[in-house]
Amino acid sequence: MDIRNCSRCGRLYHYDGFRICPTCRREDEADFTKVKEYLYKNPGADISEVEKETEVEASKIIEFLRQGRLEVAEDSNLVLECEICGTSIRTGRFCDKCASDLQKELSLSIKGTGKKPVQREKERFRVIDRYEKRR
Ligand SMILES: [Zn+2]
Ligand SMILES: [Zn+2]
């Protein structure tokens, strides 16, 4: 059994893959619903207004946006910035351009670290194989 302290409220809970306990998660869910509904009715609201009206902390609202769970309406004053280039984005952490750049870099580094050793290993086997056959 994996018992941990909730990283938010400090209570003990059965760890099930989340950093916070089920109680805090339920609170988050309720906050999320409040924010979503408020934004649905007031698409032009900015973060401080949403914070005041829903009593959900701005940092949590931003967290919802970063997670991609909330998307900002086209004409909204809620603005997020791409973590790399600072372009304003509507959801997530990066703009489309940086996200695809990141994707490319990621697949390159996977190729770089993963494939080469495997190939070398294969080659070595082939050499040994031939050598043994000749004997
Ligand atoms: Zn908790
Ligand atoms: Zn960017």
Region label for 18, one of left (φ > 0), alpha (ψ between -120 and 50) or beta (otherwise)? beta
Strands 80-81, 88-89: pairing is: antiparallel
> How far away, in angstroms, is 29 Cα from ligand 1 center?
13
Locate the domains of the chain by residue range. Answer: 25-94, 96-135
> How far away, in angstroms, is 53 Cα from ligand 2 center?
31
Residue 119 has pLDDT above 60, yes or no: no
> How far away, in angstroms, is 27 Cα from ligand 1 center?
9
> How far away, in angstroms, is 29 Cα from ligand 2 center?
29
Q: What is the pLDDT of residues 57-75, one digit of tens each?
A: 998 988 888 888 887 766 6
Predicted structure pTM score = 0.59
What per-residue confidence (pLDDT) applies to 47?
Answer: 84
What per-residue confidence (pLDDT) applies to 42?
Answer: 87
- Say if CB 7 and CB 20 are below 8 A apart: yes
Q: Among all ligands shown, which has an atom nearest to the Cα of 93? A: 2
Pure H helices in the chain:
22-41, 47-54, 58-66, 96-110, 116-134
- Say if CB 110 and CB 121 are below 8 A apart: no
Q: What is the pLDDT of residues 3-39, one digit of tens each?
A: 999 999 999 999 989 889 999 999 999 999 999 999 8
Q: Which of 102, 71, 72, 68 is nearest to 85 (CA)?
A: 102
Residue 81 has pLDDT above 60, yes or no: yes
